[in-house]
Amino acid sequence: MRPVVCIVGRPNVGKSTLFNRIVGSRIAITEDRPGVTRDRIYAEAEWLNNYFILIDTGGIEPYSDDIILSQIKRQAEVAIDTADIILFVVDGLDGVTSTDREIANLLRKSGKKVILVCNKVDTPKTPDIVYEFYELGFGEPTVVSAGQSLGLGDLLDKVIENFPEGKDTEYEEGVIKVSIIGKPNVGKSSLINNVLGEDRVIVSNIPGTTRDAIDTPFTYREDKYVFIDTAGVRRKRNVSENVERYSVIRTLTAIERSDISILMIDATEGVTEQDAKIAGYAHERGKGLIIAVNKWDLIEKANNTYREFEKNIRNKLSFVIYAPIIFVSAKTGKRVDKLLQLIKKVYNSYTQKISTGVLNDIINEAVLLSPPPTDKGKSLKIYYGTQIGVKPPKFAIFINNAKLLHFSYERYIENQIRSHFGYEGTPIRFQFREKG
Ligand code: GDP
Ligand code: GDP
């Protein structure tokens, strides 16, 4: 699980410049794949082999010259809600402004780790104006020039030094982390309330982490689960606000922190583009996925209503073919127990380990059944495979020549492995390695 670093600050201090510099070419933009985030606001970043998620809160809403204070405050709130570390950017040419002070007040109250970044210091010598920023109460500003790429290494050193300890073991091993995702009004809060409101689960309290306030741990049939970021789901903000873009950030960070995501789809609306985008994200991040079609009580059913729905979903979300589909009603509680059982099942796939011996039996059989095609007299040889990881399951497959490997054959191997082991609800990953 990756720490989340948010950039905040008033307009024009250089947030997006800094974001782009840190993220570099790593930005998650892949035009030809569905569901990949295209906004330049959220990306995976890396420094000295430390991976983290970087968010530019200034990019959440489109800028205009008269960006209002309430908007800036909302961005700071998103950062406070989701970040492990906040980069508070100020402008070293302008000095301290009243808006800087307002943001500083919000951030100080949050108790979050804040690194004060003084940008636009384009010269090696630190100008006196920088010392003004001490008054904001975050100690010595880290001086950078995003424009000239100066000081970024020192800044990133500071960022990784402040990563929370034991981020990977936020919950004890075996606790199943679940996020409920989907567009507004699809029934996320209703589902959570239904699960927690009945006698079927025991809601527990795990003391200690700062995430307590937003996560809900519970026990179901002796297994421990935690709903990730339920506060974000349950908290209803003012409807007149444009909350949608903010909920994207929440959704992305919730997926990031969970093992399994339940994508809720509104039965009365069918699959929308936003649904596809969210599904794509869970897929890309290698998370388990369940598709829950909600409000099923509102649908008039004929003989093949289910199948029609399913077909439509498979069509539109073909890249997550492994995700099971379940038809529920958060309102009546129909099949909510089944959904909980399905989570457990998907978690088993997500963490499943198979022995090298068994894996190679399957691979050998697959190769015999359908040998790799030859290319100009050369043919792909698969030597052997071995599982190298879980969450999701990852395999290393040793081959003679990577150039001879075609996507369709890779897909074939995946399908053969799936047909033996199921892997319901989880993506599986392959690394093909050449071996002389
Ligand atoms: P944002 O509104 O906070 O995202 O700020 P931008 O990244 O869009 O930058 C605002 C303006 O400041 C742009 O014209 C940038 O080119 C400029 N800028 C950003 N970083 C630096 C810097 O390090 N030095 C100087 N001189 N200008 C910068
Ligand atoms: P959220 O924004 O995704 O958290 O959605 P809510 O849980 O607030 O639900 C939005 C609306 O849909 C509310 O009026 C719910 O009562 C209604 N709703 C949610 N689930 C169901 C369902 O399964 N059936 C019906 N008929 N209504 C539902």
- CB of 13 within 6 A of ligand 1: the answer is yes
Looking at the DSSP bridge assignments, the partners of residue 294 are: 266
Mean pLDDT for 38-48 is 76
Query: In this structure, what DSSP letter does residue 127 have?
Result: P
With a pLDDT cut of 70, the percent of the chain lying above it is 87
User: Which ligand ends up closest to the CA of 62?
Assistant: 1
Write the CA distances from 285 to 344, 353, 393, integer angstroms. 20, 20, 13
User: Which ligand ends up closest to the CA of 122?
Assistant: 1
The residue whose CB lies within 8 Å of the most ligand 1 atoms, and thus the one to mutate among 10, 12, 16, 100, is 12
What is the interface pTM, i.e. ipTM, of the complex? 0.78
Q: Band of the pLDDT at 232, cuts 50, 70, 90?
A: low
pLDDT for residue 238 is more than 90: no
The alpha carbon of 79 and the centre of ligand 1 are apart by a number of angstroms equal to 20
Q: Do 186 and 266 touch, CB atoms closer than 8 A?
A: yes
The alpha carbon of 234 and the centre of ligand 2 are apart by a number of angstroms equal to 12
Amino acid 197: pLDDT = 84
Q: How far apart are CA 269 and CA 47, in angstroms?
A: 43
pTM of the model: 0.78
Q: How far is CA 307 from the centre of its chain?
A: 30
* Closest ligand 2 atom, residue 332 Cα: 23
Tens-place pLDDT, residues 346-405: 999 999 999 999 999 999 999 999 998 887 788 889 999 999 999 999 999 999 988 888
Q: How far apart are CA 11 and CA 99, in angstroms?
A: 10
Q: Please indicate whether residue 93 or residue 212 has the higher confidence score (pLDDT).
A: 93
Amino acid 67: pLDDT = 67
Q: How far apart are CA 333 and CA 331, in angstroms?
A: 6
Degrees, nearest 5: CA angle 282-288-294: 80
Mean pLDDT for 240-251 is 64
Supply the residue whose CA is at minimum distance from atom 7 of ligand 1: 14
